[in-house]
Amino acid sequence: MILRIVGWTSSTSVMPAPNNIIPFYASLLDFCSSAKSLKELKQIHVRIITVGISRHDFIRAKLVSSYASCNQMLEASFIFSLTNRQSTFLYNSLIRGFSSLNLFSQSLSVFRQLLFSHKPIDRHTLPTVLKSCAGLSALQLGRQVHVAVLANGFVLDVANSNALITMYSKCGDLVSARWVFDQMPERNSVTWSAMMAAYGMHGNFGEVFRLFEQMADEGILPDGMTFTTILTACSHGGLTDNGRKYFEMMEGRFGVMPGLEHYTCMVDMLGRAGCLDEAEALIEGMEVEPDETLWGALLGACKIYGKVEVAERVAEKVYGRTLSAASLLPCRNSFCKKPQIISILLCILPWKPRIKRKIRVPAASNKLADIPPDDYTWRKYGQKPIKGSPHPRPTKCYLGTMLWQLNYTMKFSNLSSHNCISKSSTV
């Protein structure tokens, strides 16, 4: 629709009024930003240059925001550098764009530039900065940003408080996260989900369930994110019965339709518990198309419990034919349909026949060496496959020594009350 409008205005003599041309193209850029439509954005950008408004500061601000929303940070940074009036809105767009790509250091660098430019910060600035602090586990910096939240009067803003809860929990400070939660005068479903995720992250699954019941008692309806959080806690805690109960409660009690992420949590939980037949039946009854992550969760459980027959059925469902590890190996590193699934299937399905592949060893003779399948995890570069390793085959010797040293250090420092490695185990 947007391209039709742009094409119609460019192919005819009809143009917006001079005083409406800026709002017209700004609204088109807003659509591209919300829809993350890079193709349409580039075509609209060309049209903006054609009509001669590309140097307008407001249009440049919209272009920066649109390119950042489409994860095109190189273009967004370039247009930002050309803008004469670099407003807080522009800085926020760059900070949010870098953070959405998990480029947290670059995001904090832009925030530092914002502070040095003496531009005011608004309530949209600090939540993204707190996300970057959480991604880097920068607790001290996060506390300084918390002070900025208090100093600028954003403590009553729900989005800033939610970001503080997430930051403290990911940085390991559960006490501060709960303090922020208790001090909030108003909470939404995101707040409760963030606090439940914090307790689940730290293994306090009982508190996760108590918060869920308290949330329901206060009349706040849980959403899909809330159930994703609680099902993840059930999966990581091995609480299969609780997971089944909350999964049935989603649609029956609260009217929340299960999505792909909820089915993935359930399959992961059932797979960890060894209920592979139930997990497979759950996938069969799904109303949405399973993706690679969901199949990978089931195949990971097949690998743990040695369920080759289930893995064969999964391979047949995904690829439409019976497969073996021998037939999967040639397409493992090619642009195949499901490369991650192939990697897991190679570890499960029996080898018929035993396969060898040739890799080039960078030695003086430049000869080819036969590497059996069980040695795919390492390549021999001279006599040191791992930098700093004292052993030419460090897979067992060097790694085992390091694990025993770590175990001894933990016991000596009284960090663990039990041995993390049994004496009878082998590395």
Q: Tell me: the pLDDT tens digits for 118-132?
A: 999 999 999 999 999
47-56, 122-131, 370-379 — which is least confidently predicted? Answer: 370-379
Q: How confident is the model at residue 387 (pLDDT cuts 50, 70, 90)?
A: very low
Asked if the structure places residue 299 within a domain, the reply is yes
| Contact in structure between 354 and 373 (CB atoms under 8 Å) | yes
* Percentage of the chain modeled with pLDDT above 90: 52
pLDDT at 302: 84
Residue 289's pLDDT is 86
State what percent of residues in the chain have pLDDT above 70: 71
229, two tokens: 């959080």
75-79, 188-192, 404-408: least confident range: 404-408
- State residue 258's pLDDT score: 94
Instruction: Report the pLDDT averaged over residues 306-315.
Output: 81
Q: What angle do CA 425, 426, 427 make, to 5 degrees?
A: 125
| Residue closest to 200 by CA, chosen among 176, 162, 169, 222 | 169
Q: List CB contacts of 293: < 8 A, sequence separation 6 or more.
A: 264
Judged against a pLDDT cut of 50, whether residue 354 lies above it is answered with: no
Q: Is residue 13 part of a domain?
A: yes
CA-to-CA separations, 406 to 391, 392, 396, 398, in angstroms, rounded: 19, 22, 15, 12
Residue that terminates a domain, selected from 351, 381, 403: 351
Whether residue 427 lies inside any domain: the answer is no
Q: How far apart are CA 192 and CA 169, in angstroms?
A: 13
The span from the CA of 273 to the CA of 331, in Å, is 32
pLDDT tens digits for range 276-294: 999 999 999 998 888 878 8
* Among 335, 351, 367, residue at a domain's last position: 351
Q: Which of 151-155, 378-382, 391-395 is predicted with the least confidence, judged by mean pLDDT?
A: 378-382
28 inside domain? yes
Please state which of the ranges 100-104, 190-194, 254-258, 343-347 shows the lowest mean pLDDT.
343-347
Q: Looking at the predicted structure, is the pLDDT value of residue 103 above 50?
A: yes
Rounded to 5 degrees, what are φ and ψ at 182? -70, -30
**pLDDT of res. 415:** 45
Q: What is the CA radius of gyration of the chain?
A: 27
> Do the Cβ atoms of 59 and 25 come closer than 8 Å?
yes
Cα–Cα distance for residue pair 264/229, rounded to 1 Å: 12
Q: What is the tally of structural domains in the chain?
A: 2
Asked if the model's pLDDT at residue 414 lies above 80, the reply is no
* Total number of residues shown for the chain: 427
Whether residue 69 is contained in a domain is answered as yes
Give me the amino acid identity at 195: M
344 pLDDT band (50/70/90 cuts)? low
What angle, 0 to 180 degrees and rounded to 10, lies between the N-to-C axes of helices 174-183 and 158-170?
A: 160
Is 274 a domain residue? yes
12 found inside a domain: yes
Helices (H), 12-154: 21-35, 38-51, 57-69, 73-82, 88-100, 104-116, 125-135, 139-151
pLDDT beyond 80 at 370: no
Q: What is the mean pLDDT of residues 1-20?
A: 61
- The answer for residues whose C-beta is within 8 angstroms of residue 165's C-beta and 6 or more apart is 177, 180, 181, 191, 194, 195, 198
Q: Kindly tell me the burial class for residue 114, based on how many C-beta atoms sit within 10 Å of its own C-beta (0-12, 13-18, 19 or more).
A: buried
pLDDT band at 357 (very low <50, low <70, confident <90, very high): very low
Whether the upstream peptide bond of residue 392 has omega within 30° of 0, thus cis, is no
Residue 36: what pLDDT? Answer: 87
Residues 6+ apart with CB under 8 A from 31: 2, 37, 40
| CA distances for 322 relative to 53, 261, 365, 412, angstroms | 59, 28, 42, 53
Q: What is the pLDDT of residues 191-210, one digit of tens each?
A: 999 999 999 999 999 999 99
Helical (H) or strand (E) element with 342: helix 339-348
The predicted pLDDT at position 319 comes to 67
For residue 370, give Cα distances in angstroms to 247, 347, 352, 379, 395: 50, 20, 18, 11, 18
Provide the pLDDT for residue 2: 57
Question: 10 Å Cβ neighbour count for 45?
Answer: 20
CA distance 59 to 62: 5
Alpha helices in 173-307 (DSSP H): 174-183, 189-201, 205-217, 224-237, 240-253, 260-272, 276-284, 292-305
Averaging pLDDT over each range in 239-243, 312-316, 395-399, which range is the top one?
239-243
pLDDT of residue 95: 96
Question: Residue 363: which pLDDT band, with cuts at 50, 70 and 90?
Answer: very low
- The predicted pLDDT at position 92 comes to 94
Query: What are the distances in angstroms from CA 421 to CA 272, 401, 413, 417?
Result: 21, 12, 16, 12
Residue 400 lies in a domain: no
CA–CA dist 401, 399 (Å, integer): 5
Q: Is residue 426's pLDDT more than 50?
A: no
Residue 305 structural domain: 263-351
As a whole number, mean pLDDT of residues 225-235 equals 96
pLDDT above 50 for 82: yes
pTM higher than 0.75 = no
Q: Residue 19: is its pLDDT beyond 80?
A: no
Give 159-190 pLDDT, tens digit per residue. Answer: 999 999 999 999 999 999 999 999 999 999 99
Q: Which of 4-18, 64-78, 385-399 has the lowest mean pLDDT?
A: 385-399
The predicted-structure confidence for 134-157, as pLDDT tens digits, reads as follows 999 999 999 999 999 999 999 999
Domain end point (choices 69, 84, 99): 84
In one-letter notation, the amino acid at residue 92 is: N
pLDDT, greater one: 20 or 325:
20
